Amino acid sequence: MNTKINIAGVEFKNPVMVASGTFGSGQEYGEFVDLNKLGAVVTKGVADKPWPGNPVPRVAETASGMLNAIGLQNPGIDVFIERDLPFLQKYDTRIIVNVCGHSEEEYLNVVDRLSDEKVDMLEINVSCPNVKEGGIAFGTRPDALYNITSEIKKHAKQPVIMKLSPNVTDIAEMARAAENAGADAISLINTITGMKIDINKRKFVLANKTGGLSGPAIKPVAVRMVYQCAQAVKIPIIGMGGIATGEDAIEFMLAGATGVAVGMMNFHDPYATAKVVDGIEKYMQDQKLDDIGEIIGAVHE
């Protein structure tokens, strides 16, 4: 039974990854999950300098999900290269570094610093606010997405995954913009903007007022967007958004995803990723499938 996938020339032992921001940089979950079992570890967002994140409270439970307004808190590229990367390199798993920034220059600084490091792929978080454009996220306008993607591709030594925001009118248009600019793959969906209010205190639950909604509540939206993008572009797709079981992962792959990422469920069950790997293998056995490629995009019209 072959569970290997290939994304932009990079081979993964299986399609299961972790969604950025839900798994730290691997050390935090190392005592629960054998990282060797995963197709890839996708790191928390890495910026060119330390980011403090948003004020607390910044996490809240919701029905079948959670809201977070962490604000991409991270210690910066220097600490990542010195502390986190050597840890990950000890394991037999692909390393995908999520890159964030407030300006094109900040993104490129991180991409350049990683050019000589043993990193398999870069995932670019375009949900960051572009400070030079009044705080509009890079990933909410096709022209802005095209520009940042094309500039990063000029600098990157590793294949580039553009992580798309669902907070747009036409996700397929965004996928095409990324592909036309040279992206090697896309990943989606990032969180959906949401809000929660405490009716007794009559106050916002999150200090930031709004946060990103993730978890099983958003899965139907995510599957639909992955399917739409799979119809619109030829580059590989990494699907995410509410994956909790092997069955969930298979649904994304049938919709057109080559790889899948487990996010919020890591908080609910630190063993979730390993269970998803096992679930995919069980499905393949039950369906008598020899190659996982037979699943990708195989939903019947």
Q: Which class for 24: exposed (0-12), middle (13-18), buried (19 or more C-beta within 10 A)?
A: middle
Looking at residue 136, what is its pLDDT?
76
List, for residues 26-80, the tens digit of each pLDDT value.
999 988 999 999 999 999 999 999 999 999 999 999 999 999 999 999 999 999 9
Torsion-angle region of residue 288: left (phi > 0), alpha (psi -120 to 50) or beta? Answer: left
Is 70 annotated to bind a ligand? Reply is: yes
By C-alpha distance, which of 141, 111, 106 is closest to 127?
141
Is 164 annotated to bind a ligand? Reply is: no
Looking at residue 137, what is its pLDDT?
85
Is residue 42 within 8 Å of residue 19, measured between CB atoms?
yes
Torsion angles phi and psi, residue 212, rounded to 5: -90, 125
The rounded percent of the chain whose pLDDT value lies above 90 is 94
Q: Is 70 exceeded by the pLDDT of residue 131?
A: no
Is 259 annotated to bind a ligand? Reply is: no
Torsion angle of alpha carbons 144, 146, 147, 149, nearest 10°? Answer: 120
Q: Is 90 exceeded by the pLDDT of residue 184?
A: yes
CA–CA separation, 112 and 141 (whole Å):
25
List, for residues 234-266, the tens digit of each pLDDT value.
999 999 999 999 999 999 999 999 999 999 999
Q: Is 80 exceeded by the pLDDT of residue 135?
A: no
SS3 percent helix, strand, coil of the chain, rounded to 5, is 35, 25, 40
Is 246 annotated to bind a ligand? Reply is: no
Give the domains, in start order, of the chain with CATH numbers: 5-55+71-195+214-295 (3.20.20.70)
Q: Is 90 exceeded by the pLDDT of residue 282?
A: yes
pLDDT tier at 301 (50, 70, 90 boundaries)? confident
CA–CA separation, 273 and 257 (whole Å):
17
**Who contacts 130 (Cβ-Cβ below 8 Å, separation ≥6)?**
102, 103, 136, 137, 138, 144
List, for residues 137-163, the tens digit of each pLDDT value.
899 999 999 999 999 999 999 999 999
List residues with catalytic annotation.
128
List, for residues 195-218, the tens digit of each pLDDT value.
999 999 999 999 999 999 999 999
Residue 295 in 3-state DSSP?
coil
Is 167 annotated to bind a ligand? Reply is: no
CA distances to 133, 134, 179 from 209, rounded to whole Å, are 22, 19, 34
Is 54 annotated to bind a ligand? Reply is: no
When the pLDDT of each residue in the chain is averaged and rounded to a whole number, the result is: 96
Is 237 annotated to bind a ligand? Reply is: no
Torsion angle of alpha carbons 22, 30, 85, 188, nearest 10°? Answer: -30
Is 163 annotated to bind a ligand? Reply is: yes
CA–CA separation, 182 and 149 (whole Å):
7
List, for residues 78-108, the tens digit of each pLDDT value.
999 999 999 999 999 999 999 999 999 999 9
**Residue 279: half-sphere exposure toward Cβ, Cα within 13 Å:** 18
- Strand-pair partners of 60: 67
- Buried b / exposed e along 115-128 (16+ C-beta atoms within 10 A): eeeebbbbbbbbbb
By C-alpha distance, which of 196, 191, 190, 199 is closest to 209?
196
